[in-house]
Amino acid sequence: DAKTTQPTSMDCAEGRAANLPCNHSTISGNEYVYWYRQIHSQGPQYIIHGLKNNETNEMASLIITEDRKSSTLILPHATLRDTAVYYCIVRARRGTYKYIFGTGTRLKVLA
């Protein structure tokens, strides 16, 4: 599975868009990009995933560069409840159990 690189921490003002970057320069053609977040001491929560097209759901948008070597998770209107650690993971859709979480980005939303 490809390795990902994320900034250790970021701040964002409440109501503004939070843009969380992730580098995955060794991603393979069959690997998807998944994003999870972990609020305080809860279990991680699935947010979104994508292969090569931009994706949007009720929680966030995912922008993947054309060469697929990096992506950005966008929380369009961050709230205090979005304060969490965000994990970017790349892996194949099927045939592997591995989820390598790394240490993620600690996002702090400021009032």
Partner 1 sequence: DAGITQSPRHKVTETGTPVTLRCHQTENHRYMYWYRQDPGHGLRLIHYSYGVKDTDKGEVSDGYSVSRSKTEDFLLTLESATSSQTSVYFCAISDDSGGNSYNEQFFGPGTRLTVL
Judged by the rule CB under 8 A, the positions of this chain that interact with partner 1 are: 32, 34, 36, 41-46, 49, 87, 91, 93-95, 97-99, 101-104
Minimum distance from CB of 62 to partner 1 (Å)? 13
Residue 95 or 111 having the CB closest to partner 1: 95
Q: How buried is 10 (Cβ within 10 angstroms: 0-12 exposed, 13-18 middle, 19+ buried)?
A: middle
Q: How far is the CB of 102 from partner 1 (least distance, A)?
A: 6
Ranges of beta strands (E only) in the chain are 9-13, 18-23, 31-38, 45-50, 55-56, 61-64, 70-75, 84-92, 105-110
Beta bridge partners of 57: none
CA distance 60 to 30: 23
With respect to partner 1, which residue has the nearer C-beta, 77 or 93?
93
Residue nearer to partner 1 on the CB measure, 46 or 110 = 46
Least Å distance, CB 90 to partner 1, is 13
Nearer to partner 1, 29 or 95 (CB): 95
Write out the two tokens for 46: 């699935």
CB of 43 to partner 1, least distance (A): 3
